[in-house]
Amino acid sequence: MFELSPDTRVADLWDESPAMLAALKSTGIFKEGDSIDVTIGDLCWDVGLNPVMILNMLAKARALDVPSTIDVSELDDMPLIEVVENVASLHHDYLRQTLPEIAALLARVVDAHGDSDERLLEVSKLFGKIAGDLEGHLLHEEESLFQMIRDMEKAGVIQPTRCGESVAGPILCMENDHNELRHDLARLRELTGDYAVPGFACPTYRKLLELLTVFDQNTVVHMHKEDHVLFPRAKEAQAALAQGTGTNSAP
Ligand SMILES: [Fe+2]
Ligand SMILES: [Fe+2]
């Protein structure tokens, strides 16, 4: 893992840290399409910012990064359109099934233990936000990015969406959503002590923590697949289409 300093290049973040890259983009000093060979120091000095502020922000974002041990090699030889179907079936369908189940269990556990376990109220509020955000995120991703990829791969065309005429538009929105979700998941882990089961927990409470653990793990893998495989390959596919070389297969 590289050292964070004013000499750190955006290219270092690009390869290793989607959370830091998203945090950098949120400042507006680095935009999609800018050269990634520039250093953090140069980006800051160009607009009169002290790099220390930005580096502190990036250091906090780094803690939210997905561990690099996640193995998504199953996607390596998969055509791009199958990567979309893999994400949709293993993660989007899963979320649509599990989010209401967790919400129902959470309501029961809050009813039973909310008076004696104050953290439950905050967990319930936070989970409600996460579930609402995810509902919008899944729909947005499917209606914009996934559809654009299907159009490219099946018909060799790009249909504009509400996020513009390039896959980079929805990808930027998705990266911002992922970044917020990483913050929310980190807070959920903090509130639940990494989903530790309290001694007094009833079977429903235990089941809730079990489902939350799986939800967290599935979501981390979901974002990793999109940040590290789907998004870069969608950009490559659009570039190939623009150059007339097309791509309907794995790299
Ligand atoms: Fe997704
Ligand atoms: Fe996503």
Residues pairing with 239 in the sheet:
none
Residue 226 Cα to ligand 2 midpoint, Å, equals 6
Alpha carbon of 116 to ligand 2 centroid (Å): 36
Confidence check: pLDDT of 248 > 60: no
Q: Once rounded to an integer, what is the mean pLDDT over residues 185-190?
A: 94
- Dump pLDDT digits (tens) for 154-180: 888 888 888 888 999 999 999 999 999
Average pLDDT over all residues of the chain: 89
User: Quick one: which ligand is closest to 22's CA?
Assistant: 2
Rounded to two decimals, the pTM is 0.77
Instruction: Give pLDDT, residue 195.
Output: 95
pLDDT tens-digit readout, 40-80: 999 999 998 889 988 988 888 877 765 667 888 899 899 99
Average pLDDT over residues 25-48: 88
Q: Which residues contact 236 (CB under 8 A, 6 or more apart)?
A: 247, 251
* Residue 246 confidence (pLDDT): 57
Say yes or no to pLDDT of 207 above 80: yes
Q: In terms of Cα–Cα distance, which of 246, 227, 223 is closest to 236? A: 246
Mean pLDDT of 89-97: 97
Question: Among all ligands shown, which has an atom nearest to the Cα of 85?
Answer: 1
Give CA–CA dist 171/179, Å, rounded.
Answer: 12
Of the two residues 209 and 56, the one the predictor is more confident about is: 209
Provide the b/e sequence for 189-212 (b: ≥16 CB within 10 Å).
eebbeebeeeeebeeebebbbebb
Q: Are 145 and 167 in contact (CB under 8 A)?
A: yes
Distance between Cα 13 and ligand 2 center (Å): 19
Q: What is the average pLDDT across 17-31?
A: 84
- pLDDT tens digit string along 125-153? 999 999 999 999 999 999 999 999 999 98
> In terms of C-beta density within 10 A (0-12 exposed, 13-18 middle, 19 or more buried), how is residue 160 classed?
exposed
Task: List CB contacts of 30: < 8 A, sequence separation 6 or more.
Answer: 10, 24, 38, 43
Q: What is the pLDDT of residue 249?
A: 46
Distance of CA 208 from the midpoint of ligand 2 (Å): 24
Task: Assign 245 a pLDDT band (cuts: 50, 70, 90).
Answer: low
Ligand 2 centroid distance, CA of 221 (Å): 10
Q: How far is the CA of 48 from the centre of ligand 1 (A)?
A: 37
- Relative to the alpha carbon of 178, which ligand is closest? 2
Q: Which ligand is nearest to the CA of 218?
A: 1
Whether the pLDDT of residue 103 is over 50: the answer is yes
Beta carbons of 174 and 149 less than 8 angstroms apart? no
Residue 237's pLDDT is 92
| 146 Cβ contact list (under 8 Å, min separation 6) | 84, 88
